[in-house]
Structure 1
């Protein structure tokens, strides 16, 4: 990005799993300078940091950034426990720094259109939402995603939070009140210890009920990012969105490899620009993704889409953790 200088640091790179490229080797592959220690990195004086460690290791890095007075964008989910998430939010609040959570799907033009339809009144009151976030099981250099200790779970933790965050933004103040979930590992029994499939039902205090298919159900030769889709039923209309519809996908059976040719908005770029340059703005669907995306329309529909903050990250985390509690007990779990 123009106007952005990047440095990387990963002192614990020796803990990398088989096939995982980290530390100086990854920095060299990316073509960015490397700092051997976090102290060296913060002595450089960054304006912001991106935390992309394993989920269970987010907290100490976010707190370190807060200690140095630096804004921080943390990968999702915010943490693997509510206690860690709350501590991270508190540390950043006390330090007066911004804490963002990396939910790039907020910046999808498809989501912006759905948001306009709901907030502009076109759908009427939302009755139900059926969401699906599917992909292939993480493997190779992403295998830590299947380690429940490092990831905080499996497919439910990995995929539920994306849709939970979209609904958190869409409903604008409505809160989840109850979560019911079932999980299993039918597809990869004996290969990994984590759940690889799940279905989560969430009730909200605005009367809406949402279901989230959060499975690693795509074959191994499918593109890494399987897709994220929503079907929303309102009193007046039904609307659907495909967050990754702006690409051509397929399979090469000869090489058993995926084919993915994106042509639409780069959601990661849009997220990063909105975090780094919050004072700028871009219209929905603009390829630059240069900042908060206006929703357009009436009755608050034109409010800008912004990077999820720490409190939003906590709300989506609570839904995922309640899902695991429900799956263990077989009963709905209330959320305060």
Structure 2
């Protein structure tokens, strides 16, 4: 799998320093944010919270920041210009409300709450406060999406089918990362569907540029391994009839350099696209192929996300996901869980 991504975006110049706080840094994605936060000259991490006591001390030392035992105390005691909000899914709604009440712009890890109603409430509160809130649906910041959009725009494509397959490591990796709550559906909202498929639901909508009209899904569970689903197959149908499948799981073996398996294929009336070891191959209707090198490792794009949300011109320039996007995506995810409860019957949106 290719590891080289596009050049890192530059931060718009500003005159003042931005004081950033990190909430509940035991989250497994936290390390993906740190290099950008350390690199940006006008950004200072002033405080971190870690209720688990596992990662916070090391990060506080790395950034010369204050350490708090919980996010509530941090927000009471520490002024902030921007927050990165991690933490258990069942705490994200309260965390978001507190940040909005304190008028602190923030980026919040998906799914931003346990239900679409929680996310909708945050969206309405943030809109009423005219507050910037971003969500790292990370393929928005990828070269893959920009290349596919460019090819579709250039050819006037009509999409036929899209298929995405993403298998991450086994469930016990969350125990290793002090995130046991991820395996408790009451705290996480579910397994690989709400955790992984959200990224590809958004990617499908971005590529197709149209709404999803129906959702069907079946999920695999093994109570001896986890209380959440560890395999999921979703089928989405767009307004124009494009059929999109999204397979996700916690099934890839541990202790491997690649950590996961990711592949995709997309068909249209103009070209066929599929993943390769080095990026993507585009094959036109005459059979002529072109190979595009890009990173299909989503981890590298968190650096871009951090840079984008901390840019001085983010209010006008930011093109990534926001709470409204997360609400739409979570509505589709909830329909997938409902379909699974119905034995895989389609749910119309």
TM range (shorter): 0.7 to 0.9
Contact 1:100 1:310 in 2 (8 A): yes
Unaligned runs of 5+ in 2: 1-39, 281-294
Instruction: Indicate whether 1:132 and 2:165 are aligned.
Output: yes
Question: How large is the RMSD of aligned CA atoms in angstroms?
Answer: 2.9
Equivalents in 2 of 1:106, 1:115: separation in Å? Answer: 11
Match of 1:276 in 2: 310
Against the structure 1 CA distance between its residues 245 and 148, is the aligned structure 2 distance closer, same or farther, given a 3 Å change threshold? farther
2:187 to 147, 150, 154: 150
In the other structure, the counterpart of 1:325 is 338
- Which structure ranks higher in relative contact order (CA pairs < 8 Å, sequence separation ≥ 6)? 2
Q: 1:71 Cα shift? A: 1.3
Cα drift, residue 273 of structure 1: 0.9
> 1:115, 1:243 → 2: CA distance?
21
Distance 1:143 1:43, change over 3 A: closer
Superposition deviation, residue 200 in structure 1: 0.5
Deviations 1:86-122 (A, max 9, x none): 1111111111101211122222222221121123335
Select 2:217's aligned residue among 181, 185, 198.
181
Whole-angstrom distance in 2 between the partners of 1:95 and 1:34: 28
Q: Work out the CA distance in 1 between the residues paired with 2:140 and 2:126.
A: 22
How does 1:14-29 map onto structure 2 within 5 Å? 16=52, 21-22=54-55, 24-28=56-60
CA distance in structure 2 between the partners assigned to 1:307 and 1:324 by the alignment: 26
CA contact (8 A) 2:339 2:345 kept: yes
Counterparts in 2 of 1:237 and 1:62: CA distance versus 1, 3 Å: same
Distance 1:156 1:264, change over 3 A: closer
The aligned counterpart of 2:66 is: 34
Q: Equivalences for 1:1-336 in 2 at 5 Å?
A: 1-10=40-49, 13=51, 16=52, 21-22=54-55, 24-28=56-60, 30-36=62-68, 38=72, 40-41=74-75, 44-121=78-155, 124-138=157-171, 139=173, 140-141=176-177, 142-172=179-209, 174-186=210-222, 189-223=223-257, 225-241=259-275, 245=279, 266-277=300-311, 279=313, 306-336=319-349
CA distance in 1, matches of 2:256, 2:102: 41
Measure how far apart 1:44 and its partner are. 4.1
Work out the CA distance in 2 between the residues paired with 1:65 and 1:307.
20
TM-score, normalised to structure 1's length? 0.77
Deviations 1:45-73 (A, max 9, x none): 32221111111211111111111112111
Aligned twin of 1:253: none
